[in-house]
Amino acid sequence: MKTPERRQASSGVVGEQLTLIDPPPFSPSWPKRGTLPDRALAMLMSGRMFDHPDFELNTESWRLGAAIFTLRTLGWPVETIEIPSPTEQCPRRTVALYKLDARYTAQALAIAGGAAHAQ
């Protein structure tokens, strides 16, 4: 069984090449309240690591990929952890788990004044 691969939307990945240029400061935009990206962000900021079935169970939507894409375009460094999940029809199949490092949750809450975002 292959070890899970870890990808991250921003710096901090083990084995990543060092750069002489500092990354831009963490300053994401908040998704519009009540949207699927907002609900995904709430799950991420709660410290949960989740996959598609978890998201569907909590939101009754299968649009997790689109929500994660939107969060990343808004500046949220959502991590993807790929877990091998082979089937007879697709022996190389993987599933994705998503998470947000706790330091980004703390920074986002500090930026927002410790309160829920207002929109």
Residue 63 included in any domain: yes
* CATH number of residue 98's parent domain: 1.10.10
By CB neighbour count within 10 A (0-12 exposed, 13-18 middle, 19+ buried), where does 62 fall? exposed
Residue 2 included in any domain: no
Residue 86 included in any domain: yes
Residue 117 has pLDDT above 90, yes or no: no
Residue 22 included in any domain: no
CA distance 78 to 9: 6
Residue 14 included in any domain: no
pLDDT per position as a tens digit, 2-14: 555 555 554 455 6
How many domains in the chain? 1
Q: Which pLDDT score, from 0 to 100, does residue 23 have?
A: 75
The domain in which residue 103 lies consists of 35-111
pLDDT classification of 107: cutoffs 50, 70, 90:
very high
DSSP type of residue 115: S
pLDDT per position as a tens digit, 46-79: 999 999 999 999 999 999 999 999 999 999 999 9
